[in-house]
Amino acid sequence: WQQNLWVTDEFKRVIQTRGESLDPFLRPARWILIYRNKHIIFVSPFEANWLMGRLHDLYRKQSPGELLTTTLRLLLPRTRRDQSIIVNTATLTIPPSIAPDCGTVLFPIPTEWLVALFIFNGTLYFETTDEQTAYCHCLGVCPKPRTDIEEEAFEKGWITVDGFVKKSDHRDILQLQQCRFHANPLAFIRKLMENRNNTHVSLISHVGSILINGVKRMVSVKRKAYEQTSFSAEKKLRKL
């Protein structure tokens, strides 16, 4: 995981078990503390409740022009298309990320950080193709549809059937340096998704399609334009 991603001892206590597996009863990861806009800390609901009061006190006591860089945020898994996950909503952070003189002063969680949270909390859908790309990079997978370079890498055996790229030098060439896993994580992530959502991962979901079919369901506008241009060019060549 990323170096700036943390969990509290209390959070560990509410999700860890001893002996028998209680995976289906894993407590959902819902509350995170953004500390000084640099670190993400998963906290338990009990800790979140305590932090709410403390942060509101600091918010009320802050001097004019002073901006708080530590906020408590609710993180919802996106289990449906177009669903808000709240975490980057300025009015819903604690305290609110709105200053009287400056308006919105929200620190948006970077996409590269966000996708690690998606893996952890059971998110099934992406809002943008950038999220999808960052998610794939984090897992070290190269799903279809692939570029010509990626197809060539697949034919060479660099990319497995399910899309995982194992060797670090191959990842460098395919621009997957952000991968956080040394071994193929797809089976583990799929199981984690099932436990988080208490159901099988849907094949029609963005994440399910990547984990099970090795296919990206979201296609960028640039790629669509490229494919349409290529198709038109191919038709012209056939006519000639």
In tens, the pLDDT along 19-32 reads 555 555 566 789 99
* 11 and 31 in a common domain: yes
pLDDT at residue 16 in the model: 58
What is the count of structural domains for the chain? Answer: 2
Q: Are residues 125 and 214 in the same domain?
A: yes
Structure tokens at 70: 């530590």
Question: Are 128 and 188 found together in one domain?
Answer: yes
**Residue 228's pLDDT band (cuts 50, 70, 90):** very low
Among 104, 127, 155, the domain-final residue is 104
Q: Which residues of 219-229 are buried (b: 16+ CB within 10 A; e: fewer)?
A: eeeeeeeeeee
Q: Which residues contact 176 (CB under 8 A, 6 or more apart)?
A: 136, 137, 140, 142, 165
Is the pLDDT assigned to residue 239 strictly greater than 50? no
What is the model's pLDDT at position 211? Answer: 96
Q: Is residue 56 part of a domain?
A: yes
Please check the confidence at residue 177 and state whether its pLDDT lies above 70. Answer: yes
Residues 103-162 have pLDDT tens digits of: 567 899 999 999 999 998 999 999 999 999 999 999 999 999 999 999 999 999 999 999
Residue 235 has pLDDT above 50, yes or no: no
Is position 156 within any domain? yes
CA angle 141, 200, 211 (to 5 degrees): 5
Same-domain pairing of 95 and 19:
yes
For residue 139, the SS3 value is helix
Helix 111-121 with 186-197: angle, nearest 10 deg: 70
Report residue 234's pLDDT band, with 50, 70 and 90 as the boundaries: very low
Q: Are residues 134 and 170 in the same domain?
A: yes
For the ranges 13-17, 18-22, 60-64, which has the lowest average pLDDT?
18-22
Boundaries of domain holding 202? 111-224
Residues 129 and 48 grouped into a single domain? no
Residues 156 and 66 placed together within one structural domain of the fold: no
Single pTM value for the model:
0.83
User: In this predicted structure, what is the pLDDT of residue 106?
Assistant: 85
**Residue 93 scores a pLDDT above 90:** yes
Question: Is residue 229 pLDDT above 50, yes or no?
Answer: no
Which pLDDT belongs to residue 236? 37
